Amino acid sequence: MNKLFTLLACLFLVGSVWAQNGTIRGKIMDGTFGEPMIGATVRLQSDASKGSTTDLDGNYTIGNLAAGTYNLNVSSVGFESRTIEGVVVTAGDVTVVPTLTLYEATEQLQEVVVTAEVIRDSESAMLTLQRKSSNVLDGISSEMFSRAGDSDVGSAIKRVTGVSVQGGKYVYVRGLGDRYSKTGLNGATIPGLDPNRNTVEMDLFPTNLIDNILVFKTFTPDLPADFVGGYVVVETKDFPETFTLKASASVGYNPQVHFTDDFLSFDGGSPTDWLGFDNGSRDIPDVLLNDIPEFTDVISDPSLGQDLLAASSVFDPQFSPNTTSKFLDQSYSISVGNQINIGSFPLGFIGSLTYKRDLDNYTMGERNLYRFTGILDDENLQFDYLLGDHNSNESVLWGGMFAAALKLNNTNKVSVTYLRNQSGTQQGRILEGPETVNGNNDLFNSSTIWWTERALQSVQLRGEHAFNGGQGIKVNWISSRANTSLDQPDLRFFAYGLNRDEQGNVSTSEIRAANLFPPSHYWRGMTQLTWDNKVDVEIPFQQWSGLDAKAKVGGGYTFSNRDFFERRYEFNTPLENAGNLTRCCGDDPNLYTDRDNILDDFDLSTLFSSEKVYIVDKSVVRNTYRGEQSVTSAYAMVELPIVERLKVVGGARMEITNMLVTNADSTAPLGILDNLDILPSLTGTFFLNDKMNLRFGAFRTLARPTFREKAEYASFEFFSGGPIIGNADLERTLITNIDLRWEYFPSPTELFSFSVFAKDFTNPIERIILPEFSNQTISFRNVEQAQVAGIEMEARKNMAFISPALENLSIGGNVSLVYSVTAEDPDVLAAIRQVVPDWPETRVMFGQSPYIINAYVGYNDFDKWESNLSFNIQGPRLIAVSQGGTPNIFEQPRADLNFNLTRQLSENLEAKFQVSNILNARYWANYPYQGNDEFVFYSYRAGTDFSVKLSYNIQ
């Protein structure tokens, strides 16, 4: 025991002595390739025996330094030497030196002297990455989306050039639909949670966990090939150079949402809804998992009536949401990180938690369906439904992340990242208005209650290895496993018609089974596993003139499987009129399945006159499917400077795809993909000078259908208001791409760029409305060809060039202008021209916006005040292809203006005030017809959000 106390005392004394000294940490970048520099030497100018060499990340650490001011000498073979002056070391603290970039030495070597600064500008680092990248690359750093006040990636990424976001979560790059974008987490594939989408919901990632968002717009063989508009890489935070602790809390208010008495809610739910998941209270009752007697069975054997009664009585009777008042939006976050030594091995780590609760509500929305009248010179469309829309959502999102990296030495590092996100949304909706589906001008009413929970869990293990002191071969590998789930337990849908007499008064109300689903309860669930593995080997060499070049080879294997199920239960009555609500329970849907209205008398003499209801299992075997997909890839490429100012990257990628979608119904067609694709790429950069580049690229990529699109079954979608049917015959899309870009970086934080691009699609996939159904049934199809061409412009400029008084003011913006065209399917065109002879042969491409505009004005005095005003708008885009002469549906532009003001209250405390959706422009889509925009498909306003946030930082 005494020996133990002695050992602890020695350790304490050693730690106390060490604590009297300080540490210097920093990073060195390679100015040639824009990458971290391995093996650079950093030494004290006053004592060359004290120093360090940079590791795989370009980082260096010099410890056990007495308090004082030091100069650092930085050098590497073949690069200019630099001196960093004025590095202040404080006892017991870590001094972080700003990132330094070394450039290749010229014939006349000279030493460059720089001065140490207090902070590193992450936006400057982002522009440096763009300038040195081999790809056409845009991005946004944590600094930028912190200034803009963005709370999740979905709101932050729309500030990137050419990027727009649909529904706050789905990314469109260069105006192309979300199927043509791909998302990776730290470079590894992650699946989306919406079975009907091909991309990841970006609102799942709180910005508190994110370091950078990169958007690759050109393809090189070391990237996955299944993207067209852009490959979005979300990079989680790396561990810090020193101890950091960050915590924040915010509240938000919207006059349209909070403290009103019209928020649609639900009396049920579970005690864990505030955590984003149901505790099991919404699970399918056990009695429903057994065989439920059918009504015909009860007629034959009335003794089975008690079993039918038991099954019919287990449901909560609430079908229509009630109204209530809601408190403020809330958001909280905390993160902590540090570097420590385990023996002689540096270990860095960061952990983070975030929680957010948001509410949305609108009462004056519209939801309408129109169709062509069949009369060519008719200036009007015939409506099927003209509905008022009242919709309320209460969403919870929390996320946790832990990342750690262990340096085995300066040239070998392993790291692990764990990410867990969970969201839950309670939604209520009421649609009410006139309809003509039954041949008269009656009223329609539907109520919907549903709960959706989404979960993402990702574990990534990565390794980085360099040989020959960092000057030889480099090997990077990653293995990632992502589990996602989507659960929608006990979705409730109730629709009925209100009959009106000749005077327009409501006479009766009834459930019309002929064109509507009877009152129903749904259970849906989806789980998906994605396992992604890849390895990259980089081989440096010198070309014929002695310039540094590198070859790169690698490969990967990605496997995904998905399981989806759906159960549906309907309420019917023995009456032939399918249940007259006025006679049985007035027009209150919540009384329809009340215990007193459940069928409990099975006497055959009175059974067929009963107005009471019973349950029917209407689950469809075909609505349960399983999908599996594997993608095996290999590539080879070379990054080669032809001359000092011209670098080309060329190579090819092979991807072997095997997809199989099977159905619980053995008669359903199989969804199969079996492709081997060779995808070449040639890109290049001409360095006009140290601040100006000219880039070009020509490459081939692809886009695959989703599991849901290949699963040939019909499922009812509550939000879209109609069924969706898959198409097992869908093929993958091949795209030929050409890019040209000029870019100029006047300073580390300024940028001007101009891009031109063109894309040719073979077999693009489109979302269509089937004319043979009256309830807006949606499906998918390939069309033969489509073309897209456009330009992009971006500028970020400080206003000091006008006057020194404006040095704290900066402006920026980006504009994308896109032209698209696709030919109508010949069979579809022929059918339409039977009713509309002059219907055009071509139209715009599905999901394509003709323009996207982002702009901002920012003020930062780098002391106490910072403010930002940002603007975003995108042009009309085709969201549904109609048939039979009915006009296509277009989502129309809406202007989005946001403002935030930040005040540094003390060294560690910061306050932020934010106003979002200042203009409160409406969200709307319509059927443009003969120059008339009045035929609205949907319309609503979300209201203006006000929020206040307090942040506390230690570092």
- Per residue in 818-873, pLDDT (tens digit) is 999 988 877 778 878 877 888 888 889 888 889 999 999 999 887 789 899 999 99
Q: Sign of the C-alpha dihedral, residues 261, 264, 268, 269?
A: negative
Over 90: is that where the pLDDT of 269 sits?
no
Mean pLDDT of the chain: 85
Give the pLDDT of residue 25: 86
**Mean predicted confidence (pLDDT) in 772-783:** 74
Give the pLDDT of residue 143: 72
Over 50: is that where the pLDDT of 449 sits?
yes
**Contact of 139 with 195, CB cutoff 8 Å:** no
What are the structure tokens assigned to 660, written together?
A: 């199989």
**Mean predicted confidence (pLDDT) in 373-400:** 90
- Per residue in 64-99, pLDDT (tens digit) is 888 888 888 888 877 888 888 888 888 878 888 888
Burial class (CB in 10 A: 0-12, 13-18, 19+), 657: buried
- Per residue in 171-227, pLDDT (tens digit) is 888 877 777 888 888 888 877 767 667 677 777 677 777 888 888 989 999 999 998
Residue-wise DSSP of 871-907 = EEEE--EEEEB--TTPPPEEEPP--EEEEEEEEE-SS
The CA distance from 431 to 253, in Å, is 26
Over 70: is that where the pLDDT of 435 sits?
yes
- Per residue in 539-551, pLDDT (tens digit) is 999 999 989 899 9
The CA distance from 834 to 708, in Å, is 32
- Comparing 74-78, 119-123, 463-467, 879-883, which segment has the lowest mean pLDDT? 119-123
- Comparing 74-88, 362-376, 393-407, 635-649, which segment has the lowest mean pLDDT? 74-88
Give the pLDDT of residue 632: 98
**Mean predicted confidence (pLDDT) in 144-158:** 72
CA 453 to chain centroid, in Å, comes to 16
CA 91 to chain centroid, in Å, comes to 45
- Per residue in 45-60, pLDDT (tens digit) is 888 778 888 887 888 8
Residue predicted with more confidence, 151 or 377? 377
Decide the pairing of beta strands 765-769 and 722-725. Answer: unpaired
Question: Domains of the chain by range and CATH?
Answer: 2-118 (2.60.40.4130), 322-672+681-954 (2.40.170.20)
**Scanning the structure block, which residue is given the tokens 């209460």?**
394
The CA distance from 447 to 319, in Å, is 7
Helix, strand, coil % in the chain, rounded to nearest 5: 10, 55, 35
**Mean predicted confidence (pLDDT) in 325-351:** 90
Over 60: is that where the pLDDT of 113 sits?
no
**Contact of 812 with 750, CB cutoff 8 Å:** no
* Max CA distance (Å), the chain: 109
Residue predicted with more confidence, 501 or 733? 733
What are the structure tokens assigned to 600, written together?
A: 């409990």
- Comparing 144-148, 252-256, 576-580, 772-776, which segment has the lowest mean pLDDT? 576-580
Give the residue among 103, 112, 19, 98 at the shortest CA–CA distance from 59: 98
The CA distance from 882 to 381, in Å, is 13
What DSSP character marks residue 192? -
Give the pLDDT of residue 116: 45
Cα distance between the two ends of the chain: 38
Give the pLDDT of residue 167: 67
**Mean predicted confidence (pLDDT) in 742-751:** 88
Give the residue among 220, 134, 231, 180 at the shortest CA–CA distance from 653: 220
What are the structure tokens assigned to 812, written together?
A: 């920026």
Residue predicted with more confidence, 774 or 916? 916
Q: How far is CA 757 from CA 217, 694, 763, 792, 873, in A?
A: 10, 14, 20, 8, 21
**Mean predicted confidence (pLDDT) in 274-298:** 90
Q: What would you report as the CA-atom Rg of the chain, rounded to the nearest whole angstrom?
A: 31
Residue predicted with more confidence, 223 or 612? 223
**Contact of 510 with 558, CB cutoff 8 Å:** no
Q: Tell me the pLDDT band of 577, cut-offs 50, 70 and 90.
A: very low
Over 90: is that where the pLDDT of 396 sits?
yes
- Per residue in 639-665, pLDDT (tens digit) is 999 998 999 999 999 999 999 999 888
